[in-house]
Structure 1
Amino acid sequence: MSPTREGPTLLSWASQLEVSTLVQARQTAAMAFIHPHVALMPDAHSGKGSAVGTVIPTRGAVMPAAVGVDIGCGMIAARTTFTRADVDARIAETGSGLAALREAVEDAIPLSPGNYNRGTGDWRFTAARIRELEELADAGDVDLSHSPKWRRQLGSLGGGNHFIELCLDEADRVWLFLHSGSRGVGNKIAQHHIRVAQRMCAGVRLPNRDLAYLSEGTAEFDRYLTDLHWAQRFAYLNRAEMMDRFAAVFARWMGVSGNHETERINCHHNYTRQEMHGGEQVWLTRKGAVDAHAGVRAVIPGSMGTRSYVVEGLGNADGLCSAPHGAGRQFSRTEAKRRFTQDDLRARMVGIEYRDSAEFVDEIPDAYKDIDVVMEDARDLVRVVHELRQILNVKGT
């Protein structure tokens, strides 16, 4: 769809837009350092300070709460050489269904927000990632004293809307797919710098205190960008770590060895980096949005029980070369639990292997916007390359 102008510096691609979300977006777009405009994505919904699904270009300042507390949260997807027929043949051969695979994945990857790996030596590829993060922290003098167990967080999923899925595309090829971010250590980094920004803006009139900012040229700004870079890298490597574990578990379940991937896409949707927009180099914050520069591939998930999409960016300048990051919630977790039951969730998950539990009712697809409407709204931002449907779902508890 073509964007609608919702203010002097606000363009929106959202056909499903709540008043509270629009209010937040207008507040963000009214900040003096916005250039050239804020882009509101099709999946936008209310968030902390600024709406989730907001792309925010700023000159000389960054707002830590706009980046969010799950720094570097994003998606990773890996296409394999396997097909639905291979999976069905393995089930017939072994008599071991997808429940056994789900349980093996749950055993290999810690799921809950406070659950860590038992150790860091269980997988051959973990040590190199920890070493890279240690060296990056040392080089930037990143203070991680608030998270002494950060190494054991690497390769853990977390809770909420984080998930792991086995999917099939339009040609019945098997994809491995998951959603996670920088875990507890990233949250601690974000919360610290949000408080610093609020102290720095104590005498500034803000429409919302979570729009507090750090000004370029200050020590606080430099410290945040260094710590942010570390957390973004942690999130990226965290997804890669889990994907390697998922791939190993899946191969074992399939009774094969070796690497069976043909493609891997790992993309953030909560982050800040420098980009050129409106003829200037700005700090571009994608809060619930993916990079959609021309030719760049990304992954846009639906919800448990609905389709997801592998996409390629179209480089839309008005959209700040960005695209939506998912379906976006239409009901809060509390409201979803009030409206829906475990039986409702079971009905929506027919044909999908998942852990049948009442704790996931707030993640029912009905709590989210219609992903097909979101993708239609995004048709001038990305083109769909693959359409994925899940046959197995593992949720963060």
Structure 2
Amino acid sequence: MTEIKIQNVIIFISSALLIQYDKYGNFVLRTCIKPICILTVIQGISVKLTEKKNILIFGKDLIEDDPVRQIERCITSDDDIAVINADAHYGYGHPIGGAVAYKEKISLSGVGFDIACGNYAVRTDIQAKGIKVPDVMNEIFRRISFGIGRPNNEPADHEVLDKIHKAEFQPQRKLYKLAQEQLGTVGAGNHFVDLFEDADGFLWIGVHFGSRGFGYKTTTGFIALSRGLPFEERVREGSMDAPPILFNIDTTLGQSYIEAMNLAGEYAYAGRDLVVKKVLEILGNPAVTYSVHNNHNFAWREEHFGSMYWVIRKGCTPAFPGQKGFIGATMGEDSVIVEGIDTETSRRALYTTVHGAGRVMSRTKSAGRKKWIRDRNGITRLKTITRGLIDFEDVRSEMTARGIELRGGDADEAPECYKRLDDVLRRQGDTIKILFRLHPLGVAMAGGETFDPYKD
């Protein structure tokens, strides 16, 4: 094997190569025989092509090896196309921050447990300086339920519940009560309800969560079906390194999953819409002058390179030319509204970008190992088994010093647990542009003592 180094390009070859640059100055490789492996690094973008794999990697310097190995396992044929964004990290069977396009398959692992997890942001017509942020955040934390440890005293109603009651995939009908109870609740983990201020002083509302227990139970039900068990059967979720669960789209199981996923997507949209409406009500119902709403755990039917694909995005924001996306940062940093742009890189990236900053420290490492126990009086409480690396009281003090009103949260959501969003966005190159930067004023999340069994 011969190694050739050209500027910032390293190529391992077993055949003759013709190296060129296109009219845009981008590196182009032509071969008569397929190379064993090509690794190029251009302006923060890493592309790895092997004989049976087609994977585009953004920000390789920010990504550990595990997500790359996971995405390689997700490629099952020469027709499959994969993308890893700079916020990527380890996930269940499919990396978070990774997208894969399949022609004839859909990936349960790629959509994930929290079907249609996504973001919704609205700009109001009021100035942020005109509100009392501490009072508003207190009311948000009182009236909106996080996890399942706080009672949802204001049950919501929405037409999506009628659709669940009459779901085409009949096993989902049995999840009606759970869906009704949790509609308009936010969940734990990295899910949030935030207030922001833009450069013009306008107040924004931003929320991040998905389909709650309805989506989770839908996913575990299909895991059971994939193993030949009844939908209602309780199953072990399997290893994070397990191969992805794929359904052929021309099978009854594949079509049923698509129907069930779409319904969970409607449910997630309805939940985010209800939460934003509740915050607007708390604010006195100001007018909404701009809105951005997107899923980042979902599967879409799309055309790329002249062919139709099912594009599975897990922790990835769709970014077609002109399409807007809300990308949340950590509790202490600016979030952004972005717009997709039409470039050669964005086309190769399946018009896909990041969904956040991307985790670099595990929940156990940051917050310690904890276990829910029930005492002799039947009271369930959280017991710390080992301490984590982050002192959350220091985080609270830092947020207060920066003028950010924090409600809830825990050490595993501290800014130190994540990459810096600006670093991540730079690695995405010319695929997106930033329209608005949103400075956090108030952050509401489930607290460390909140119990929520559903994965974020």
Scaled to the shorter chain, the TM-score interval is: 0.7 to 0.9
Structure 1 Cα separation of the partners of residues 149 and 297 of structure 2: 21
Structure 1 Cα separation of the partners of residues 169 and 69 of structure 2: 38
Q: 1:323 aligns with which of 336, 353, 362?
A: 353
Task: Kindly provide the CA deviation profile for residues 115-146 of structure 1, in whole angstroms up to 9, marking residues without a partner as x.
Answer: 553353xxxxx43x2x2341365252442314
In the other structure, the counterpart of 1:254 is none
Structure 2 Cα separation of the partners of residues 40 and 375 of structure 1: 13
Whether 1:188 aligns to 2:223 is: no
Local SS of the residue matching 1:380 = helix
Q: What amino acid is aligned across from residue 85 of structure 1 in structure 2? A: K
Stretch moving more, 140-149 or 377-386 = 140-149
Q: What amino acid is aligned across from residue 106 of structure 1 in structure 2? A: F
Structure 1 Cα separation of the partners of residues 176 and 164 of structure 2: 16
Structure 2 Cα separation of the partners of residues 165 and 233 of structure 1: 22
In the other structure, the counterpart of 2:152 is 117
Q: 1:372 aligns with which of 422, 437, 441?
A: 422
Q: 1:262 aligns with which of 276, 284, 289?
A: 289
Whether 1:292 aligns to 2:319 is: yes
Structure 1 Cα separation of the partners of residues 261 and 349 of structure 2: 24
After superposition, the Cα gap between the structure-2 partners of 1:343 and 1:135, relative to the gap in structure 1 and judged at 3 Å, is closer
Deviation of 1:379 after TM superposition, in Å, equals 3.2
Q: 1:228 aligns with which of 228, 252, 261?
A: 261
Local SS of the residue matching 2:70 = helix
Whether 1:250 aligns to 2:283 is: yes
In the other structure, the counterpart of 1:55 is 99
Whether 1:12 aligns to 2:57 is: yes
Aligned residues, how many?
366
After superposition, the Cα gap between the structure-2 partners of 1:163 and 1:262, relative to the gap in structure 1 and judged at 3 Å, is same
Structure 1 Cα separation of the partners of residues 240 and 175 of structure 2: 31
After superposition, the Cα gap between the structure-2 partners of 1:278 and 1:114, relative to the gap in structure 1 and judged at 3 Å, is farther
Local SS of the residue matching 1:392 = strand
Local SS of the residue matching 1:293 = coil
Q: What amino acid is aligned across from residue 373 of structure 1 in structure 2? A: D
Structure 1 length-normalised TM = 0.87
**More strand by percentage:** 2
Deviation of 1:327 after TM superposition, in Å, equals 0.4
Q: What amino acid is aligned across from residue 174 of structure 1 in structure 2? A: L
After superposition, the Cα gap between the structure-2 partners of 1:389 and 1:198, relative to the gap in structure 1 and judged at 3 Å, is farther
Tell whether the 8 Å contact from 1:348 to 1:365 is kept in structure 2 after alignment: no
Whether 1:237 aligns to 2:237 is: no
After superposition, the Cα gap between the structure-2 partners of 1:197 and 1:33, relative to the gap in structure 1 and judged at 3 Å, is farther
After superposition, the Cα gap between the structure-2 partners of 1:115 and 1:20, relative to the gap in structure 1 and judged at 3 Å, is same
Map 1:131-280 onto structure 2 (within 5 A).
Answer: 131-135=159-163, 138=166, 140-142=168-170, 143-146=172-175, 148-199=177-228, 208-251=241-284, 258-280=285-307
Stretch moving more, 337-346 or 58-67 = 337-346
In the other structure, the counterpart of 1:108 is 143
Task: Kindly provide the CA deviation profile for residues 266-308 of structure 1, in whole angstroms up to 9, marking residues without a partner as x.
Answer: 1100000100112211101110001100000010111111110
In the other structure, the counterpart of 1:83 is 127
Structure 2 Cα separation of the partners of residues 56 and 153 of structure 1: 30
Q: 1:353 aligns with which of 401, 405, 414?
A: 405
Tell whether the 8 Å contact from 1:133 to 1:230 is kept in structure 2 after alignment: no
Gaps of 5+ in 1: 92-97, 121-125, 201-205, 252-257
Local SS of the residue matching 1:171 = coil
Stretch moving more, 76-85 or 320-329 = 76-85
Structure 2 Cα separation of the partners of residues 212 and 34 of structure 1: 18
Q: Which has the higher contact order (CA 8 A, sep 6+)?
A: 1
After superposition, the Cα gap between the structure-2 partners of 1:193 and 1:10, relative to the gap in structure 1 and judged at 3 Å, is same
Local SS of the residue matching 1:144 = helix
Tell whether the 8 Å contact from 2:296 to 2:355 is kept in structure 1 after alignment: yes
Percent same amino acid at aligned positions?
Answer: 25
After superposition, the Cα gap between the structure-2 partners of 1:286 and 1:345, relative to the gap in structure 1 and judged at 3 Å, is same
Tell whether the 8 Å contact from 1:137 to 1:230 is kept in structure 2 after alignment: no
Tell whether the 8 Å contact from 1:111 to 1:157 is kept in structure 2 after alignment: yes
Q: What amino acid is aligned across from residue 366 of structure 2 in structure 1? A: A
Structure 1 Cα separation of the partners of residues 84 and 250 of structure 2: 28
Deviation of 1:318 after TM superposition, in Å, equals 0.8
In the other structure, the counterpart of 1:27 is 73
After superposition, the Cα gap between the structure-2 partners of 1:379 and 1:174, relative to the gap in structure 1 and judged at 3 Å, is farther
Tell whether the 8 Å contact from 1:33 to 1:59 is kept in structure 2 after alignment: no
Gaps of 5+ in 2: 1-42, 230-238, 368-387, 448-456
What's the Cα RMSD here? 2.1
Local SS of the residue matching 1:158 = coil
Tell whether the 8 Å contact from 2:339 to 2:432 is kept in structure 1 after alignment: yes
Deviation of 1:63 after TM superposition, in Å, equals 1.5
After superposition, the Cα gap between the structure-2 partners of 1:267 and 1:259, relative to the gap in structure 1 and judged at 3 Å, is same
Tell whether the 8 Å contact from 2:111 to 2:297 is kept in structure 1 after alignment: yes
Structure 2 Cα separation of the partners of residues 108 and 45 of structure 1: 33
Q: What amino acid is aligned across from residue 274 of structure 1 in structure 2? A: R
In the other structure, the counterpart of 1:339 is 389
Structure 1 Cα separation of the partners of residues 217 and 78 of structure 2: 26
Which one has a bigger Cα radius of gyration?
2
In the other structure, the counterpart of 1:362 is 412
Q: What amino acid is aligned across from residue 428 of structure 2 in structure 1? A: A
Deviation of 1:328 after TM superposition, in Å, equals 0.7
Tell whether the 8 Å contact from 1:157 to 1:180 is kept in structure 2 after alignment: yes
